[in-house]
Amino acid sequence: MPRKKKSAAVEELPPAEIVDQPITETIETNYMPYVMTVIVSRAIPAIDGFKPAHRKLLYSMYTHGMMTGGYVKCATITGDMMHLNPHSTDANYDTLVRLTRDYGALLHPLIDSKGSFGKHYSSDMKAAAARYTDARLEKICAEIFRGIDKNAVDMVPNYDNTTTEPTLLPTAFPNVLVNPNMGIAVGMASNICSFNLAEVCDGTAALLKNPNTTAEKLLEIIKAPDFSEGAQLIYDRDQMLSIYKTGVGSVRLRAKYRFDEKENCIEIYEIPYSTTIELILKKLTDLLKEGKLKEVTDFRDEIGLSGFKLAIDVRRGTDVPKLMEKLYRTTPLEDTFRCNFNILIDGAPRQLGIPEILKEWIRFRIDCYRRELTFDCERKEEKLHLLLGLGKILLDIDRAIKIVRETEEEAMVVPNLMEGFRIDRVQAEYIADIKLRNLNREYIINRIREIESLRAEIADMHAIIEDELKLKAEIIKQLTEIKKKYGQPRKTEIIHAGDIADVTEDDLVENYAVKTVLSREGYFKKITMQSWRGNDEQKLKDGDAILSCHDAENVDEVLFFSDKAQVYKCRLSDFEPSKASSLGDYIPSKLNFDDGEGTLYMCPVKEYRDDINIVFIFENGKGVKVPLSAYETKTNRKRLTNAYSASSPAAAAFIETEPFDIIMFSDGGRALVTSTANIPMKATRTSQGVQLFTLKKDQRVISVKADPASVSENPSRYRKNKLPSTGTALSDADSGTAQMKML
């Protein structure tokens, strides 16, 4: 098929010219404007406590008269908002939802709502469509907009120059700290927690009275963050003070619960602000599947009209406080809120502590209030000016009427009044507009009486405007009124670390009796007693044999001694229960042994006592006892080097609670039986010990057993009470089958 010819109307463009440009210049010209737009116009809140979208929404609602009157459909609100915020109505609706009372994200909601708006503590509960929900502004918004109609803040054109909008809202209280805010920009983020309104008002008043108020003093007034979800805050004064000073840090929050003894059920009724019920339920499900919550039989979401509720059914006899500590440590029932007080100040992001934030707000509020007073003062001065003109016609009302009556042209009425009474055009216009019925002495005298009160009010206003101390006093008065009107008790309870039950790691681990088995090749099993009684025949690799076997409890620690003079520490609870029919965990891999390092011995430890010892027998015939307490560490160290002497390879190790007999075999065909009571104790782990078995040159101890009768028909033949000893030559019987068992 022939190819179509190009249309004559289509012109071929010349190839684009490629221009070399440094990457720094590309970023500066192409990327940085985007970065600054995200930071300034989208993600980071300003000193009034609002991001641009929040500010546009509230102002749109304010201009449409939603401070008073009934509820308005949210679809209408988000549509009206488009003339200030030309994003999708869905995005505008999401902005509205977060500020509502029903959603519950704010300590002091700014929008009174009616309908289903979802919940902050649930990621699955979504708001109903905007056509089904209604909203209006909360009464506290009167303080948010105080003075906005009196030139308190700058107004700028909206995106299409059809109207104007405020650059900031003149909040009469530090909303930036009262309601939480989170935003992720480019290269920076902001995460501001909420504080109690009454405490913030008191703290701001203290700073207004004394600008040198320290963070330590503010910490006594503004005690800690206060969240809309309530819960408990674990108080750490040093950490809190660091947040107040730097604006960075984290606070720990934990859920509140009550126990219903009748139903044997734990009821969680407040959770940390930073988590959701879905995250908690998922973690509980995972723990239950893994068998780590044997105390719990069931759990369910019981959120209803009464509010949040998570029910956890527990087994009879469960220690509830201990179980809750376990849940706090393993689920989001205890969570962390990370603070990052990044705020736009004069259009630039700054990370500030609490005193600096309040000082910046005070500077902002003083400017707003001064502008508001200036606006009122100018209006009163204008009124005073009119009344002064009215006062000039009081002496001769008839003359004023005569001037108006005798003026032939309407346009000359004002000029004639100006000339007749020596007044300016504004005053003359005002007098000319007075109704005929009001041109009487009584009306004029009553109006003129306002002159003195107006002069006094204007003088007072000028005194306040020109004196910053008086401005601050007025702001303190406003804060006191706001605290009295809108203040509420703390929702988040402050608890100290000392108030929390002292629960150890062992308390959080389910305890039960186990058998511990280690093979010579390094395979380890933790077997429950029920499984052990069912089958005590251990599965091993060909050529492998059991090296050590002990009774223990699941909460015990376990020491693994390697053949490179190191000991590895862990907890038995770190291992999953095994069956006798399985090989178990390969310890060198599980505990990250060094290359070429193998296992020597294993022993469980309940407590590190001085009267319990580890006995080491070395290939050079020496032996030593080291107290078990020598392996106790204050920190949670996983590996100890120099666990025993490395001057000669270790042939065997044993744990000694009381003396017992051992039998040692050399590769020279000799054996020696002695008691561990004859082996000296050394306090130093790396001690070489003393000679027990005297060996010829190039000979070594090849095996040591703790039960001589299990490998010898006549162990008394090899007993030596005087040490060191060359031992006794093996009998023919012991050189055969018994020797095979021994090795």
**Of residues 193, 204, 203, 252, the one with CA closest to residue 226:** 193
CA R_g for the chain: 42
The pLDDT score that the predictor gives to residue 562 is 93
CA 8 to CA 19: how far, in whole Å? 31
- Report residue 437 as tokens: 């019925």
Q: Where are the domains of the chain?
A: 50-170, 256-332, 359-486, 506-742
What percentage of the chain has pLDDT greater than the value 90?
A: 62
Fold observed for domain 359-486? Topoisomerase; domain 3 (1.10.268)
CA 25 to CA 33: how far, in whole Å? 12
Catalytic residue among 34, 132, 159, 512: 132
Query: Which CATH code of 2.120.10.90, 2.40.440.10, 3.40.640.10, 2.40.50.140 fits the domain covering 506-742?
Result: 2.120.10.90
Q: Which residues pair with 306 in a beta bridge?
A: none
CATH 3.40.50.880 holds for 50-170: no
CA 728 to CA 707: how far, in whole Å? 17
The pLDDT score that the predictor gives to residue 502 is 66
Q: Give the β-pairing of 613-618 and 622-627.
A: antiparallel
Task: Name residues of the chain where pLDDT drops below 50.
Answer: 1-2, 6, 8, 737-740, 742-743
> Any catalytic annotation for residue 132?
yes
Run of H or E residues at 569: strand 567-571
CA 199 to CA 489: how far, in whole Å? 10
Residue whose token pair is 């959603």: 103
Contacts 24+ apart (CB under 8 A), 506-512: 506/555, 507/322, 507/325, 507/326, 508/322, 508/325, 508/326, 508/329, 508/330, 509/554, 509/555, 509/571, 509/573, 510/292, 510/294, 510/295, 510/554, 510/573, 511/553, 511/554, 511/555, 512/553, 512/554
pTM strictly above 0.85:
no
CA 58 to CA 13: how far, in whole Å? 50
What are the tens digits of pLDDT across the range 579-634? 888 889 999 999 999 999 999 999 999 999 888 999 999 999 999 999 999 998 87
CB 620 within 8 A of CB 648: yes
The pLDDT score that the predictor gives to residue 462 is 93
CA 622 to CA 646: how far, in whole Å? 12
CB 308 within 8 A of CB 271: yes
CB 300 within 8 A of CB 284: no
The pLDDT score that the predictor gives to residue 11 is 63
Distance of CA 148 to the CA centre of its chain: 35
What class is the 256-332 domain?
alpha beta
The pLDDT score that the predictor gives to residue 536 is 64
